[in-house]
Amino acid sequence: MIGKHIRHLKRYREIVSVLVKYGFGYLVKDVGLFHLLSLPKQIAADLSGNGKEQRSLGQRIRLMLEELGPTFIKLGQLLSLRTDILPEQIADELRNLQDQVTPVNVESIKQIIAEEFGAPVEEVFARFDDSCIAAASMGQAHHAQLKSGEEVAVKIRRPDIESIVANDIEILWDLASLVDKRYEWARTYQVLDLVEEFSTAVHKELDYTREARNTKKLYSFFSDNDQVVIPKVYDDYSSARVLTLDYINGYKVQDLIEHTPAGIDKTTLCEWLVRSFLDQALIFGIFHGDPHPGNLFFFSGNKIGYIDFGQVGYLNETMKRDFGDLIIGLMKGNTDLLVRTLSVMTDIPDDLNERQFKTDLDALREKYYMLPFKKVHIGKVVHDIFEVTKKHRIGIPKNYTLLGKSLITLEGIITQLDCEISILELAEPYGHKLLIHRLNLTDLTKKLFMNSYDVVDNSIHLPSLLRKTLTHLNKGKTRVEMKLPQLEFLLAKVDRAANRISFSIMLLSFSIILACIILGEAFGARSLISNIPILGIAVTIVLFMFMIVLLSIFRSGRF
């Protein structure tokens, strides 16, 4: 930890200063990083937890993350999906995080292209515009033309962004470890797991070959659909740091809000928008994870264009079925189905209060039971489900939270366009399709065959497994593992108390030994050995041993 502090000392001080600036000085002090501040900043630091400015907690967190830069902006965007653990007000504020930054100098961009393709930009493209068409924290895009004549958008990763992200994630790991040791809520909400999830997600986003694969999959899926436009990927002009796609330029959401262009009917357009997304999620199983207005284009004839597939969600057949069961259970008033489905979909804690959980789901069921689809807002449904899971500390897999967030985003766009359509009403036919698919005789036969095979296979191996287990029991080799909640936390407290007692005993022993030596020197008989500086040697040896013990206690971090 000390080595990392020294290596990233400047960045640590920046982060700590920003945390204190927005009212999180108490957190800095609790985890032991307050010393990184200069003395004037320590004196001026606000440790109340309220911040000096009259802003809400969500606003302060959002502004703090924006000031800390691209890695922390991406972290905030990930956290905005986690309404299963964050209060809705904070998650809503984090959805407003601005990912627009000052464009990188075009010469640096051209240098990256030259390194990737082994030739100057002028030789790679027939035309390459110096001004960028979009700039974000991880990369920026330029309009260009291939020598074969196609108009393309070239997305280039920002210079040195890999090292910036790597350093920030290393610091995030350190901070998460410190918070995890200090706060009970950090262990409850598995802060270390969140950092691991974020680290994986941001490294995937930095790899444009992955985005290219996602884009090509959806391009293929919608190849026969004239209403949906997905950009084509040009592999010969793409790499891990550069992605070249069809240039798409249509109407934006704001254009449609200000006036209705010719050839576009807003209601029909909204229906196609929802259906195209539901096709992705519930039919194909791969969906756009961030369908905000900046990633959507609209064209005459009510066509929809999607761009930027850096973040996608995945639903396998089981997940699609479970999501359908969740909605059916909610609408049909079947609490048992809701309990079974959520138990399969989520990570249920061992200490779940099942009776209270079922009571809360009963209340949720009553709220939506027999309510017409037109009167139900998907955003409210998702919010209510997340509130119940958050109350009972139930973890929801990322792909479900991503799906919920995407549906809420789409509903927001529909509301902006003044379209009175219900996402749930449009989703109802998909529920019937999933149900019919589940009851398909061929699929049922396959499942029955596979389950039968598993039963037979397990039955064959059961005698040998039983014999092995009994042998281990007979020889006393069986190991029993017990999971005791908070055991590690209690052991840490015991360890800390023991270290303090050891420190006190060492201090007392040191004092007694030193006193005996002094008395011996003062009142003992003089001899040849009296000429040897026994007092100095003894003090040095005892002090050396004392420092070794003291250092080992402090290094354990449990004093």
Determine the pLDDT at residue 247.
95
pLDDT confidence bin for 2, thresholds 50/70/90: very low
Quickly count: other Cβ atoms within 10 Å of residue 156's Cβ.
Answer: 23
Q: What pairing do the DSSP bridges indicate for beta strands 312-314 and 303-306? A: unpaired
Decide: 277 and 291 in contact? Cβ < 8 Å.
yes
Higher pLDDT, residue 456 or 301: 301
Is residue 149 pLDDT above 90, yes or no? yes
For residues 207 and 135, what is the distance between their CA atoms, to the nearest angstrom?
Answer: 17
Determine the pLDDT at residue 108.
93
Determine the pLDDT at residue 452.
65
Highest mean predicted confidence (pLDDT) among 1-10, 68-77, 266-275, 509-518: 266-275
Determine the pLDDT at residue 555.
55
**Average of per-residue pLDDT across 85-99:** 79
Determine the pLDDT at residue 534.
58
pLDDT confidence bin for 114, thresholds 50/70/90: very high
Strand, helix or coil for residue 116: helix
Q: Hey, what are 178's tokens?
A: 């410190």
Is residue 558 pLDDT above 60, yes or no? no
For residues 328 and 336, what is the distance between their CA atoms, to the nearest angstrom?
Answer: 12
Quickly count: other Cβ atoms within 10 Å of residue 260's Cβ.
Answer: 14
The fraction of the chain above a pLDDT of 70, given in percent, is: 75
Strand, helix or coil for residue 257: helix
Higher pLDDT, residue 126 or 552: 126
Bridge partners (DSSP) listed for residue 298: 251, 304
Q: Judging by beta carbons within 10 Å of its beta carbon (0-12, 13-18, 19+), is residue 133 exposed, middle or buried?
A: middle
What is the per-residue pLDDT across 332-390, written as a single tens digit (0 to 9) for each?
A: 777 888 888 888 888 888 788 888 988 888 888 888 777 776 777 777 888 888 888 88
> According to the 3-state scheme, what is the secondary structure of 390-421?
HHCCCECCHHHHHHHHHHHHHHHHHHHCCCCC
Domain positions in the chain: 100-249, 259-462, 487-555
Flag the least confident range among 330-339, 438-447, 541-550: 438-447
Instruction: Give 94's Cβ-side CA count (13 Å radius).
Output: 22
The fraction of the chain above a pLDDT of 90, given in percent, is: 25
Determine the pLDDT at residue 276.
94
Is residue 479 pLDDT above 80, yes or no? no
Long-range Cβ pairs for the range 11-14 (8 Å, 24+): 11/167, 11/168, 11/171, 12/36, 12/171, 13/37, 14/68
For residues 430 and 438, what is the distance between their CA atoms, to the nearest angstrom?
Answer: 12
pLDDT confidence bin for 524, thresholds 50/70/90: low
Higher pLDDT, residue 553 or 294: 294
Is residue 236 pLDDT above 60, yes or no? yes
Q: Hey, what are 208's tokens?
A: 């444009």
Higher pLDDT, residue 2 or 481: 481
For residues 207 and 217, what is the distance between their CA atoms, to the nearest angstrom?
Answer: 16
Bridge partners (DSSP) listed for residue 233: 245
Decide: 66 and 77 in contact? Cβ < 8 Å.
no
Query: How far does the chain reach from its first CA to its final CA, in angstroms?
Result: 17
